[in-house]
Each structure stands twice: as structure tokens, then as C-alpha cells.
């Protein structure tokens, strides 16, 4: 039997760590049970007069928040782990919503009829880009493919040209704004200012029933948990380590023999597809999709969710999406005129005082306390050295 040399023993690679630890799997299973069993039971089985009843309003609101959390997770992949700040992810979110909206409009109109807004505009036939909108299977694929292809084409030329930093962020804003202006036009076949609304059924089942609301809520939760596991697996792989190397020192990564282009482009496409999935789940729950979803303000707000929760943590953006949108839901009712000021102040406070976001706030507080204790302790007197 050949004996192992000391060099072979010293070069043993560390064993790969599990996807989630014991505590992580426990929290994941708790979230899964809460989404698929506890919340539906509290809404469907508990009487409305009970304190434990989960109202239809909260079911719809939490379903929307989970769609937003998928978007924040997608932005974390490219910003937190790759160092690419996008201020245009509202485009991919809206594209997924429009693809789903086209299918819902066709189903509401009937198999041989045009959508209502086309009849109002005196259209005689469907535009070419509506060709596959009557098939749910094709819609499910296009929800991912349309944002992925458009994001891939844009990303290829942007990354090949080595556009970085604030210039890349400005270009993503310009792309989203141009798309919004395009979708506002009636002749493009996307409903103009009003967009798509008046949805009635999904796969033949009414969208206005309590059971459908709970089903869409559960699907949004499962999609969020699935995207989280996929993102964690991606980041902990060799591919994810290269992404973080590109974020920290792209020139050194190139010197080590890695071409950053395919890594940046692929994670950009994955992020766009995740946003498309979130948009497709969002539209049936809110009942409308229009070009305002592509506004520059919405895309900036999406980046704020990730920053507030904590970049490069995966869990942090989810927390940030719930925290910011929960505060928005309350403040837009209590004091709507102050919401934008609060949002801007929140972003400044997080940037200057909480760079790690909410997810790292407990450890940051402990660091502040340790520094205060160290400053409060009197320094020991220095002993002179006798000659």
C-alpha cells in the first residue's frame, strides 16, 4: 500500500459545508409550515370574529410582500454578491407581470374574442407578440424567458463594454424608463396607461374566491423559499465564490484566469428571471399591471429593500422587503405625504450608520457596546523604567 506523504496530507481540501445548519433547516421548515399550513388554516378555518383569524386583506398583503422579497433576493445576488448595482429591476418584475397579465386577459375575454381594451381601440386581430398568450404552459415559460432574454441581451453588451459602477446603474435606469414610455403607447398592444385589469379566472377557477387568494399566497411563499434555497446553493458553490471574487477584486480574478463576463452575465440573467417569476405571482393577487411598475422610483425602492435588510446575506433582503413595505403600508395611510421623505432618510441612515443592514444590527450594537466599555475603562498607569 502506498503511503501518503506529508504534502498530500497537508493539501486535503476542507469538506463542503451543508446547505443549511440544524438551526437553519429548523427555521426553513417552520417557515414552510407557516406558509402552507398555518396561514391558510387561520384564514379558512378560524372564524372572522376570532383574534387568531387571518383576514383576506392580510393574506393578500403578505402575498405581495413575499413577491417583493423575491425581487430583493434577486437584487442581492447581483449587488451584494457580485457588486453590480441595478436601478432597473422594476423592468424585469413588470415584464413577468405583463406576460401573466396577457394570459389572464385572454382567459377573461374567451377563446375566440379579443381582450376588452383591443375592442375599445377597434383592433381586428391580436398582435404577433400575443401569439402564445392563450397557453398557460407557454406563459409559464415566457414568464422566465422574456425577462431572461431581454436582460441577457442588455447585459451582454453592457458587460462586454466593461461598464461598471454608477454608469451601469444609470444605464439600467434609462433602459427601464425607455420601456415604461414604450408600454404607455396604445399601439404597442399593452393596454397603454391603464395596462391590464379586469382579470376573472386562472385556469378556469375564479380569482375572487377566498381559496384562490390563499392558494396564490401559498405559491408565493413556496416560490420565495425555493428561490432562497437556490440562491444559497448558488452562492456556496465554486460559481458563487468566483462571483464574490469578481465583486471584491475583478482585476485579480482576471489575473487568476477567470473571465468575469460569463459569470456576471449568467447571474444577471438569473436575477432577471427571478424578478419575472415574482411579477407573475404578483399580478393575479393585485388584479392589475400597468407601466407605472416600471417607474424609476419603484426600481430605486427595490434596491432600498436590499440595502435596509443587509446586502450579501440572503436573509437580510427578505427582512428588508417586509420591513420597508410594512412601514409603507402603515405610513401611506397614517401620513401619506411623508412617505418619500421617510424612505430617503431611511436609505441615508442605513448607508451611514447601518452599513450591514437590519440583519447585522445586533452584532453592530454589540460592537458599539464593546467600544463604549473600552472607552469607559480607565487606562492602566504606565510604569516608568528605572535607569
Which of 340, 120, 119, 118 lies closest to 129 in space, CA to CA? 118
| Highest-scoring range by mean pLDDT, 97-111, 223-237, 336-350, 354-368 | 223-237
Cell of 136: 398557460
Q: Answer yes or no: is 279 within a domain.
A: yes
- Phi and psi dihedrals of 289, rounded to 5? -145, 130
Helices 210-236 + 238-248 axis angle, to 10 = 80
Number of structural domains the chain divides into? 1
Q: Is residue 331 part of a domain?
A: no
Can you tell me the distance from the alpha carbon of 107 to that of 111, in angstroms, rounded to the nearest whole number? 7
Residues 6 or more apart from 337 whose CB is under 8 A from it? none
pLDDT more than 70, % of the chain: 93
Instruction: Name the one residue in this structure whose C-alpha cell is 413577491.
Output: 67
**Is residue 219 a contact partner of residue 70, using CB atoms and an 8 Å limit?**
no
Q: What are phi and psi of 195, to 5 degrees?
A: 65, -145
Alpha carbon distance 67, 353 (integer Å): 28
Residue 336 resides in a domain: no
Residue 384 placed within a domain: no
Give the domain range for residue 186. Answer: 58-294
Name the residue with cell 378556469: 204
- From 122-126, 190-194, 289-293, the region with the lowest mean pLDDT: 122-126
Q: Does residue 387 fall inside a structural domain?
A: no
The SS3 call for residue 201 is strand
- Short-list 7, 74, 19, 15, CA closest to 318: 74
* pTM of the predicted structure, to 2 decimals: 0.91
Any residues with CB less than 8 A from the CB of 184 and at least 6 apart, and which? 192, 193, 291
Q: 205 - beta bridge partners? A: 202
The predicted-structure confidence for 327-340, as pLDDT tens digits, reads as follows 888 888 888 888 87
Q: Kindly state the average pLDDT of the residues 351-358.
A: 82
**pLDDT mean over 53-78:** 94
* 171: pLDDT strictly greater than 90: yes
Band (pLDDT 50/70/90 cuts) for residue 381 is low
Helical spans, DSSP H, in 287-360: 296-309, 315-334, 339-353
Q: For CA atoms 282, 287, 289, 292, give the dihedral sign.
A: negative
Residue 221 maps to a domain: yes
Distances (CA, A) of 331 to 62, 301, 306, 376: 17, 15, 20, 40
Sign of CA dihedral 330, 71, 193, 123: negative
> pLDDT above 90 covers what percent of the chain?
60
- Flag whether 284 is in a domain: yes
* Maximal CA-CA distance, the chain: 105
In the structure grid, which three cell numbers stand for residue 371, read together?
467600544
- Kindly give, in sequence order, each residue whose CB lies less than 8 Å from that of residue 233, ignoring residues fewer than 6 positions away: 19
User: What's the pLDDT band for 14 if we cut at 50, 70, 90?
Assistant: low
Residue 178 maps to a domain: yes
pLDDT confidence band for 120 (50 / 70 / 90): confident
pLDDT at 79 over 90: yes
Q: What is the chain's Cα-based Rg?
A: 25
Contact status, residue 273 vs residue 70, Cβ threshold 8 Å: no
Which contacts of 254-263 are long-range, i.e. CB under 8 A and separated by 24 or more positions?
260/159, 261/159, 261/160, 263/82, 263/239
Q: Is 69 helix (H, G, I), strand (E, B) or coil?
A: helix
Q: Which segments of 110-249 does DSSP mark as H helices, in order?
A: 116-120, 136-160, 165-184, 210-236, 238-248
Amino acid at each position: 500500500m502506498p503511503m501518503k506523504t506529508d504534502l498530500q496530507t497537508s493539501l486535503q481540501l476542507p469538506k463542503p459545508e451543508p446547505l443549511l445548519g440544524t438551526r437553519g433547516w429548523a427555521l426553513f421548515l417552520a417557515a414552510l409550515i407557516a406558509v402552507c399550513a398555518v396561514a391558510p388554516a387561520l384564514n379558512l378555518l378560524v372564524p372572522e370574529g376570532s383574534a387568531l383569524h387571518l383576514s383576506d386583506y392580510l393574506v393578500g398583503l403578505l402575498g405581495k410582500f413575499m413577491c417583493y422579497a423575491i425581487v430583493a433576493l434577486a437584487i442581492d445576488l447581483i449587488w451584494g454578491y457580485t457588486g453590480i448595482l441595478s436601478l432597473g429591476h422594476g423592468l424585469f418584475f413588470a415584464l413577468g407581470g405583463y406576460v401573466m397579465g396577457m394570459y389572464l386577459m385572454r382567459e377573461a375575454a374567451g377563446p375566440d374574442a379579443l381582450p376588452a381594451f383591443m375592442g375599445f381601440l377597434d383592433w381586428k386581430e391580436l398582435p404577433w407578440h400575443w401569439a402564445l398568450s392563450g397557453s398557460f404552459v407557454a406563459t409559464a415559460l415566457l414568464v422566465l424567458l422574456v425577462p431572461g432574454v431581454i436582460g441577457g441581451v442588455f447585459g451582454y453588451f453592457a458587460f462586454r463594454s466593461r461598464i461598471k459602477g454608477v454608469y451601469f446603474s444609470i444605464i439600467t435606469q434609462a433602459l427601464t424608463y425607455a420601456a415604461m414610455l414604450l408600454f404607455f403607447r396604445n399601439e404597442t398592444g399593452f393596454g397603454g396607461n391603464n395596462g391590464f385589469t379586469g382579470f376573472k379566472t386562472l385556469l378556469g377557477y375564479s380569482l375572487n374566491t377566498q381559496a384562490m387568494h390563499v392558494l396564490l399566497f401559498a405559491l408565493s411563499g413556496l416560490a420565495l423559499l425555493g428561490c432562497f434555497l437556490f440562491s444559497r446553493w448558488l452562492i456556496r458553490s465554486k460559481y458563487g465564490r468566483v462571483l464574490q471574487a469578481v465583486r471584491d477584486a475583478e482585476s485579480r480574478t482576471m489575473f487568476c484566469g477567470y473571465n468575469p463576463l460569463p459569470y456576471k452575465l449568467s447571474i444577471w440573467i438569473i436575477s432577471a428571471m427571478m424578478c419575472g417569476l415574482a411579477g407573475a405571482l404578483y399580478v393575479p393577487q393585485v388584479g392589475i399591471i400597468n407601466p407605472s411598475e416600471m417607474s424609476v422610483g419603484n426600481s430605486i425602492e427595490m434596491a432600498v429593500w436590499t440595502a435596509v435588510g443587509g446586502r450579501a446575506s440572503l436573509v437580510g433582503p427578505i427582512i428588508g422587503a417586509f420591513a420597508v413595505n410594512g412601514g409603507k403600508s402603515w405610513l401611506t395611510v397614517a401620513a401619506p405625504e411623508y412617505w418619500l421623505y421617510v424612505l430617503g432618510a431611511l436609505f441615508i441612515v442605513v448607508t451611514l450608520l447601518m452599513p450591514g443592514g437590519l440583519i447585522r444590527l445586533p452584532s453592530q450594537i454589540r460592537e458599539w457596546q464593546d467600544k463604549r466599555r473600552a472607552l469607559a475603562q480607565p487606562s492602566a498607569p504606565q510604569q516608568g523604567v528605572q535607569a
